[in-house]
Amino acid sequence: MKPPRFDYLVPRSLDEALGLLAQHGEEAKVLAGGQSLVPLLNFRLVRPAHVVDLNEIPGLDTIRVDDGRLAIGAMTRQRQAETSALVRERCPLLAEAMPQVGHVQIRNRGTVGGSLAHADPAGELPAVVAALDGELVLRSRRGERRLAPHEFFVGYLTTAAAPDELLVEARVPVTPPRTGTAFMEVSRRHGDFALVGVAATVTLDAGGVCTACAIALTGVGPTPVVARDAARALVGVKPTDDALMDVGRRVAGALMPDSDLHASADYRKHLAGVLTRRALARAAGRVDAGKERQ
């Protein structure tokens, strides 16, 4: 299929882009890496009158540490984040998730902001940002808003961004000392969207007792699912096999995924429990590597 006709607009600055979005509102769609938007256009599942290409706007692709947070510009290519030493050092959870996004050809074009704004519930990046309780920075001519993941991801492929708003940055806390992280997923073939994925973080005190834990899952609901209650069950105890098994059971028990062509609801629940246990064990085993992190 070919896309329907649209005006192709190429702003040279953020301000110009925001002006175009203010002018055209719901009639416009922004183009980042095009890895999701172009297929949607070609299948005529979206029919914008205007496509606003973000690729000529300078300054939206930087990765920096700011105020204890790793700030990643929306137009940062997924591959750029994957190969960044700063990401590896300051946010190893994101670094581990990145190579699991599609194939390298997709990551060469696909952007961090596009992945978050597309809000695919099977996507890795929404779950990472949710597990880390990050912030999504939205800009429009009306000003700036910073949303928590549960405010930003509101439904299947749907975010709280208004038609005149651009996602300009994602901010996640730098991984603290004595914290291990892990991202694990199961997909049918390498590069496929995951059936289920788990992002996990575990912080241990000097005696090996868990002081903080976070778990977020992909593929088990219309948005990334944060398993807050199950994660809390690990706090105050050591991450023994029994304790991790218990957390995995709690996660599986609380989920209500849908069955679809790819997997039944029961299989997804089972997978979520098993992957949670394994991801937590891997994260706990990595705490020593994070001991010295500042």
Greatest CA separation for the chain = 63
Other residues' Cβ atoms within 10 Å of the Cβ of residue 186:
18
CB of 149 to ligand FAD, least distance (A): 15
Nearest distance in Å: CB 82, ligand FAD: 12
In the bound state with ligand FAD, the residue whose beta carbon lies nearer, of 149 and 290, is 149
Strand 50-53 relative to strand 179-186: parallel, antiparallel, unpaired?
unpaired
Least Å distance, CB 258 to ligand FAD, is: 18
92 token code pair: 């190893």
| C-beta of 80 vs 276, nearer to ligand FAD | 80
Phi, psi dihedrals of residue 268, rounded to the nearest 5°? -60, -40
| Distant-in-sequence, close-in-space partners of 152: CB < 8 Å, separation ≥ 6 | 116, 119, 136, 159, 160, 161
In whole angstroms, the minimum distance from the beta carbon of 285 to ligand FAD comes to: 25
CA distance 45 to 52: 17
Nearest residue relative to ligand FAD (C-beta) = 114
Secondary structure E strands in 142-186: 143-147, 153-155, 158-159, 166-173, 179-186
Main-chain dihedrals φ then ψ at residue 123, nearest 5 degrees: -75, 150
Which is nearer to ligand FAD, 155 or 253 (by Cβ)? Answer: 155
Minimum CB distance to ligand FAD, residue 289 (Å) = 26
Q: Which is nearer to ligand FAD, 123 or 248 (CB)?
A: 123
Picking from 19, 231, 234, 197, the residue whose alpha carbon sits closest to that of residue 93 is: 197
What residues does 184 pair with on adjacent strands?
Answer: 198
Question: Toward ligand FAD, which CB reaches closer, 102 or 248?
Answer: 102
Which of residues 106 and 233 has its CB atom nearest to ligand FAD in the complex?
106
Beta bridge partners of 15: none
Tell me which residues touch ligand FAD (CB under 6 A): 29-37, 74, 101-102, 106, 110-111, 113-115, 117-118, 120, 123-125, 161, 166-167, 193
- How far apart are CB 246 and ligand FAD at their closest, in Å? 30
Closer of 124 and 281 to ligand FAD (Cβ): 124
Give me the phi and psi of 116, to 5 degrees please.
-75, -45
Whole-number minimum distance, CB 118 to ligand FAD, in Å? 4
Kindly state the helix (H) or strand (E) to which residue 65 belongs, with its residue range: strand 63-66
